[in-house]
């Protein structure tokens, strides 16, 4: 098993945000994570990427317990992520933003720093994302969906084994979402990396994810094939009264 989350649990000031969440991800698998607003999806990702420490529980990558790993060791372990709100460097060009991801990956693997290798990899990623024409511009000058692709290219740049994407399809037009789905499937095909994708755009999500996990009030309420999870009464109920 590539990733194993075991009984992850955290409370903020008495409010239980994530409640005994356990799930697994196989190498090369794409897992979709759904749930109404506030159900604990981002908090799960924050624990699994060592941004916050779980109150209880453990996480393993390839059998290695990384529950207490220093966050800056995560890239070396083979995990990267994107954020629900874009976190691109505003004063750096698209290519420079992606180059930072490439450098982080090389540094983590102890590869000697070679400019030519860095830029070759940057261009490969920009081509893959269909954003090479934007290489020299500042991210803010691009449409939101394109900026998201830049952030995803940066997350993929370190050649991770597992990438967590927090609402990659949010704010995208249907054309942009279709292109991003294809990019994610292509990347999985060529690199074999596994993806955990949180998104409210269920239609697009199920077009890429093999399996879904549904959260409500911090708990896993359903898991399995998309159709079964989405028609599960507990899942349907968890969305009642929400605008999603």
Ligand X SMILES: Nc1ncnc2c1ncn2[C@@H]1O[C@H](COP(=O)(O)OP(=O)(O)OP(=O)(O)O)[C@@H](O)[C@H]1O
Contacting residues toward ligand X, per CB under 6 A: 12, 15, 17, 35, 37-43, 84
78's contact among Mg ion, ligand X, none, with CB below 5 to 8 A by partner kind, is: none
Judged by CB under 5 A, does residue 42 bind Mg ion?
Answer: yes
Closest chain position to Mg ion (CB) = 42
For residue 96, the minimal CB distance to ligand X (Å) is 29
For Mg ion (CB under 5 A), the number of binding residues is 3
For residue 34, the minimal CB distance to Mg ion (Å) is 11
Question: Per CB under 5 A, which of residues 77..116 are in contact with Mg ion?
Answer: 84
Judged by CB under 5 A, does residue 158 bind Mg ion?
Answer: no
Spell out the SS3 assignment of the chain. Answer: CCEEEEEEEEEECCEEEEEEEEEEECCCCEEEEECCCCCCHHHHHHHHCCCCCCCEEEEEECCEECCCCCHHHHHHHCEEECCCCCCCCCCCCHHHHHHHHHHHHHHHHCCCCCHHHHHHHHHHHHHHCCCHHHCCCCHHHCCHHHHHHHHHHHHHCCCCCEEEEECCCCCCCHHHHHHHHHHHHHHHHHHCCEEEEECCCHHHHHHHCCEEEEEECCEEEEEECHHHHHHCHHHHHHHCCCCC
Nearest CB to Mg ion, comparing residues 42 and 181 = 42
43's contact among Mg ion, ligand X, none, with CB below 5 to 8 A by partner kind, is: ligand X
């Amino acid at each position: 098993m590539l990733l194993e989350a075991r009984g992850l649990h955290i409370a903020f000031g008495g409010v239980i945000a994530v409640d005994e969440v356990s799930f697994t991800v196989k190498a090369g698998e794409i897992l979709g994570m759904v749930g109404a607003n506030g159900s604990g999806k981002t908090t799960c990702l924050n624990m699994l990427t060592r941004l916050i420490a779980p109150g209880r529980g453990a996480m393993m990558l390839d059998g290695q317990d990384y529950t207490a790993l220093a966050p800056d060791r995560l890239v070396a372990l083979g995990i990267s992520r994107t954020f629900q709100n874009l976190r691109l460097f505003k004063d750096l060009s698209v290519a420079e933003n992606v180059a930072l991801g490439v450098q982080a990956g090389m540094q983590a693997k102890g590869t000697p720093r070679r400019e030519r290798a860095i830029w070759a990899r940057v261009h490969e990623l920009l081509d893959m994302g269909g954003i090479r024409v934007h290489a020299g511009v500042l991210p803010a000058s691009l449409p939101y969906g394109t900026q998201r692709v830049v952030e995803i290219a940066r997350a993929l740049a370190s050649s991770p084994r597992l990438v967590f994407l927090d609402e990659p399809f949010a704010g995208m037009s249907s054309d942009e979402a279709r292109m991003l789905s294809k990019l994610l499937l292509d990347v999985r095909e060529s690199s074999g990396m596994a993806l955990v994708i949180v998104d409210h755009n269920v239609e697009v999500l199920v077009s890429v994810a093999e399996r879904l996990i549904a959260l409500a009030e911090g708990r896993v309420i359903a898991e399995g094939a998309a159709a079964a999870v989405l028609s599960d009464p507990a899942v349907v109920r968890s969305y009642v009264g929400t605008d999603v």
